[in-house]
Each structure stands twice: as C-alpha cells, then as structure tokens.
C-alpha cells in the first residue's frame, strides 16, 4: 500500500443522510482523494443506505468499513428499522428475565445492520452511571453498579459479535461519574487508580479480556493516570502504556469524535490529530477537516520510522477487522434482502415485548384504570416529534402538550381536572443540557401532585422525580418510541 492509502484508513468522516445538503459525491471525492477506509453513518432509509454504500464500495480500492451509533438498534439511525429502549431500560427488563434478552436485542441489531451494510456498532456504553447529575450518560448506561454494567455489556457484545458485527466498548476510561458533557467541554475523572480499577475499569477490562473488537476512548482527563491533564485519547500513558502494554489489548482503539468541544476548544486541528496518533489511536472519529487530519498524519509519518511503524500497526488492525467481517470476499449488500430483514414482523414483535418489559415503577404504583373524563395527560417534551402517537389519541383522552424551549415550557391550566398524568421525554442529548426538568416546571408539578391524583411517566431520565416531595406515583419507560407510547396509552385507557 502507498502511504496515502494507509493514512486514509485511520480517518472516519461523517456520512450524514440527515443533512439537508447531503451530497454523495462529496463522499466519493474524499474516497478518491484521501483513500478513506471508514465512515460513520447517520440517518437514511433502507434503500437509500444500501444503494449509497454499494456505490461507495464500488469506487474504493479497499473495502470500506461502515459504522454507526446504534445504542438503540438500527432504528436509531435508519428509517423503518427496529428500535429498542435505552440500555438502562434493557437492564430493567433483564432483571425480570435474563441477560439473554439483551443478547437477543444485540442479535437483531447486528442482523439488520449487516443487511444494510453497516459493519460496526459504536456500542455498548460501558460507563457506570454512578453520578445522577451526569448530563450525557444517564439512561445510555446499563446501570449504577459495575456488576450490572459488566453482565449486560458482555451479553450485548456477544450478541453483536456472534452475528457478524463489530462491537465497540465506550467511553473508556469511564464517563459515568462526571458532571460535564464532553461534547461541550473536557470532563475530569478525579479518582485514584485503585478506585478506577475497582469500579470504572471493570466493565472495560472484562470486555477486553473476552475479546471485544474495539475500544472507544472518551475525551476525559484522568489526573491519576496522566498528570498532564490531557484527554485520555491524547494520553500515551493511557492508550499505549496501560491498554496496549500492560493490559495487552490488541483490538482497535478509536477516539470519540474529534469535533467535540473537549478537543476543539483546546487544540488546533493539526495538534489534536497529531496528539491522538502519537498516543496510540488506530482511528480518529469525525475530524473537523478530513483534509487537515490527513495532512497532519502524513506529515507525522514522513521520514519518521517510529511513526511509520505505528501507522502500519494501526492499518494492520483495521484490515484485520475488515477481514473478520468478510469484506475482502464480499463488500456489497442486496437491497431485496435488506428490505425483507430490516424491521420485519418478528423483529417488531420482539421490540414490542421489550418495550413492555422496560416499564419500571420507581415510586408508588400504576393507578387503576383511569376515568378519562376526569383525567388530563400533560406532555412535556424536548423534541417536537417525540409524542406524535400520543397526540393522535386526543379523541380518547384529553391531552395538552408543552415544548420545552430553552429553560421554560408553556404551562397549561389544569385546575378543572381531578387526575393528571404527566409524561416527559427529558433525557441526555449531546450538546444540550436538558436532562432535568426546569425549576419552574418542578414547582408546578409539586402543586399539582399535592392536590390531585397523579402519575408521572418519564420516557427518559429516571431521576427527574428527585426532590419532588409530593410525588406519589412515578414510572420510567426508558424510551419514547412509538411502541412505548402505544403501551403507555394501553395502560392508561385500557
């Protein structure tokens, strides 16, 4: 391989079908110019995705590895595919059944993803959500303790990898006990090495020991591992000395997105890319500029035998992953087969079962069947499209909706109703600090809950009931997908 072909294997740009200005020819251009070997995919429908992937594979000298964030199934990105609740909901469901349920979720995710041509899942999240004020992990984690996260995470990894998909454990060394979103700024994990080994490291170590294909390094500073204050993805102490040399891990090491605030607010593009390469990253996810990232790596390795050896080793790992997937034998997918598999009846029925199993009563109980004449449902939403199904049921029960804009949601007058069901989709979202209800809304809820029969349903954050003294009945569903909305309505009106 030529040097430029090798460098292109280390860069993972976006392929964003959700972009209103999406143009496949731009992806063609960077494949031809920079020999890009991988993409991270957002959005699209089945036929669009299959057609685009096959076309890009056809013009590339080497097979392309397509990856995606699929924590909630292929439906998280591709229209018409199967969607599942957040990981914390799956862990709740596993308590009632077994972790085999999580294995089966991963199996369906892998089967549907491979059918459309996506090969790698940037999942599972192995962060332990041991900080209730965490703005970005929250229900994306399997839970609040190492045992739950480890057992559920290993079942998920096994379900992916046994069905032909690369699994990626993230976000090492652990983003759970932080109060900062690394999309916005650099979090700091202040714990000692002994504490990290006892807690944060445990799910990741077990995943590495059992052969997880890839490890994603978070943009998190860990002073006990590297006193410089550098993000983990730029730390030779963490990436090379600890993971490679001490723990002997030989899978892919991938950075979290390079365009996140934790990186771009502190480093120039060239400096950031050079530092993560020197520290030991095999691939760099979503650089701000493909051209600048390519040039920075190329400059680093020219006339530098040590850096060239580093590059060769990373390319070897990338190609090993592609070979494991069988991409050198067949890199294409069949549209008719994808349409038959993705979102099929069997998968949808299983997803419905999972949605039902994820309902968790956090306080009190689900009330007896409600008299709909005396009941109002108040939807407090952060996403304008979250509760479309519930809104369509206005003929069966009175529904009012408020959209949370900035720090305030419109607050309706509910004084005429005897009973109130409050449903919210507040949950962690990248760059947005909307994981808790605004104080103004909490004050209204306190008054409502003091004077009325009530039920609070969180389709996201299970901690939004914290501090509500008058809250008597609280349920969390860990999802706002349509299947969950259908189940909510069935339980409310029968």
> Could you tell me what percent of the chain has a pLDDT over 90?
79
Tell me the Ramachandran region of residue 478: left when phi exceeds 0, alpha when psi lies from -120 to 50, beta otherwise. Answer: left
> 402-411, 439-448, 453-462 — which is least confidently predicted?
402-411
Contacts of 278 (CB under 8 A, 6+ apart): 236, 300, 307, 310
Fold for 359-493, please state it.
Rossmann fold (3.40.50)
> 161-170, 262-271, 396-405, 411-420 — which is least confidently predicted?
396-405
Strand, coil or helix: 379: strand
User: What are 266-320's pLDDT values in tens digits?
Assistant: 999 999 999 999 999 999 999 999 999 999 999 999 999 999 999 999 999 999 9
> 28-32, 127-131, 176-180 — which is least confidently predicted?
176-180
Contacts of 82 (CB under 8 A, 6+ apart): 73, 74, 75, 108, 109, 112, 342, 343, 347, 348, 350, 351
CATH class of 3-346: alpha beta
User: What are 210-228's pLDDT values in tens digits?
Assistant: 999 999 999 999 999 999 9
CB 272 within 8 A of CB 264: yes
Residue ranges, comma separated, of all CATH 3.20.20.300 domains in the chain are 3-346
Residue ranges, comma separated, of all CATH 3.40.50 domains in the chain are 359-493
Q: What is the pTM of this model?
A: 0.95
């Amino acid at each position: 391989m030529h040097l430029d072909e090798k460098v292109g294997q280390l860069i993972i740009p976006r392929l964003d079908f959700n972009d209103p200005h999406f143009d496949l020819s731009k992806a063609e251009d960077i494949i031809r110019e920079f020999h890009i070997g991988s993409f991270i995919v957002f959005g699209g429908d089945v036929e669009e995705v299959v057609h685009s992937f096959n076309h890009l594979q056809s013009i590339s000298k080497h097979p392309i590895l397509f990856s995606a964030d699929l924590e909630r199934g292929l439906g998280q990105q591709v229209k018409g595919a199967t969607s599942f609740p957040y990981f914390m909901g799956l862990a709740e469901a596993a308590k009632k059944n077994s972790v085999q349920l999580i294995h089966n979720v991963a199996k369906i995710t892998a089967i549907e993803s491979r059918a459309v041509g996506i090969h790698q899942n940037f999942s599972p999240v192995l962060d332990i959500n041991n900080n209730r004020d965490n703005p970005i992990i929250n229900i994306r984690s399997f839970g609040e303790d190492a045992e739950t996260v480890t057992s559920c995470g290993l079942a998920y990894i096994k379900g992916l990898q046994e069905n032909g998909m690369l699994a990626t454990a993230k976000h090492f060394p652990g983003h759970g006990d932080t109060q900062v979103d690394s999309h916005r700024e650099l979090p700091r994990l202040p714990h000692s090495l002994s504490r990290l080994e006892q807690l944060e490291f445990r799910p990741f170590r077990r995943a590495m020991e059992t052969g997880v294909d890839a490890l994603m390094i978070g943009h998190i500073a860990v002073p006990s591992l590297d006193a410089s204050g550098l993000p983990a993805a730029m730390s030779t102490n963490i990436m090379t000395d600890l993971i490679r040399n001490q723990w002997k891990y030989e899978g892919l090491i991938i950075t979290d997105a390079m365009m996140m605030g934790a990186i771009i607010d502190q480093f120039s593009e060239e400096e950031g890319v050079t530092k993560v390469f020197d520290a030991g990253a095999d691939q760099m996810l979503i650089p701000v500029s493909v051209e600048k990232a390519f040039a920075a790596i190329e400059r680093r390795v020219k006339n530098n035998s040590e850096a060239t050896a580093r590059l060769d080793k990373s390319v070897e790992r990338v190609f090993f992953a592609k070979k494991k997937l069988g991409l050198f034998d067949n890199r294409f997918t069949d549209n008719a087969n994808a349409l038959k598999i993705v979102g099929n009846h069997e998968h949808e029925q299983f997803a419905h079962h999972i949605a039902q199993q994820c309902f968790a009563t956090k306080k009190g109980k689900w009330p007896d069947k409600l008299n709909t004449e005396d009941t109002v449902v108040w939807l407090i939403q952060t996403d304008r499209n979250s509760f479309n199904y519930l809104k369509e049921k206005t003929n069966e029960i009175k529904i009012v909706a408020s959209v949370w804009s900035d720090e305030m949601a419109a607050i309706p007058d509910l004084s005429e109703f005897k009973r109130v069901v409050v449903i919210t989709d507040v949950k962690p979202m990248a760059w947005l600090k909307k994981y808790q209800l605004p104080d103004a809304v909490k004050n209204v809820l306190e008054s409502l809950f003091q004077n009325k029969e009530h039920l609070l349903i969180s389709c996201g954050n299970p901690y939004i009931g914290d501090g509500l003294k008058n809250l008597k009945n609280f349920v969390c569903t860990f999802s706002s997908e349509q299947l969950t909305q259908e189940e909510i309505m069935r339980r409310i009106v029968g």
